[in-house]
Amino acid sequence: MTASVDTVLARLADAERRLAEHAAAPLPEGLSDPDPGAEERWEAGQVWAHLAEFPAYWLAQAQRVIAQPTQPPVPFGRVKTDAGRVEAVERDRHTDPQALLERVRASLAEVSDAVRSWDDETWQLRGAHPVRGEMTVERIIERFIVEHLEEHADQLDSLER
């Protein structure tokens, strides 16, 4: 793959470390800055609820692409208004961040195991996202899990200032 598995794993570990530091601190007040290119602003509880939900979702979407390599590009993904995404954020926004961090950690362990098992060909399989268009498995993992975790850790950083 273009980006090394070791780099992906190191970035996941760093994001997990940052999130653990946030989970150990009192929940900050206020609203986050929006995601890049978006308008949605969240309180810390909503950020945590989303963090606990999305890594497993996007891993499953990458696995969907991998499972159907005879039909490239395989449709995958969702948009921000997806009912499952919105419901998860609302359902878990008042859950203790330490409990949500445990869900994040379990998902990241699954992501780490999966990325270690994929060969170069698997990383290059293609899916079609409804907004972002055609993407490789490599890009799906980088964008929707690794970069996404880093962005939400940044959001929590901004709330602590």
- Residues 11-44 pLDDT 10s: 999 999 999 999 999 999 999 877 667 788 899 9
Q: Given a cut of 90, is residue 138 above it in pLDDT?
A: yes
Q: What pLDDT was estimated at residue 3?
A: 56
- Residues 63-104 pLDDT 10s: 999 999 777 799 999 998 999 999 999 999 999 999 999 999
Mean pLDDT over residues 115-138, rounded? 96
Q: What pLDDT was estimated at residue 1?
A: 57
Q: Taking the model in full, what pTM does it have?
A: 0.93
How far is 109 from 91, CA to CA, in rounded Å? 23
Closest residue by Cα to residue 9 from 98, 142, 153: 142
Distance of CA 76 to CAs 9, 108, 141, Å?
Answer: 23, 20, 13
Decide: 123 and 137 in contact? Cβ < 8 Å.
yes
Q: Given a cut of 60, is residue 2 above it in pLDDT?
A: no
The sign of the CA dihedral 51, 56, 62, 64 is negative
Mean pLDDT over residues 106-123, rounded? 97
Q: What pLDDT was estimated at residue 161?
A: 61
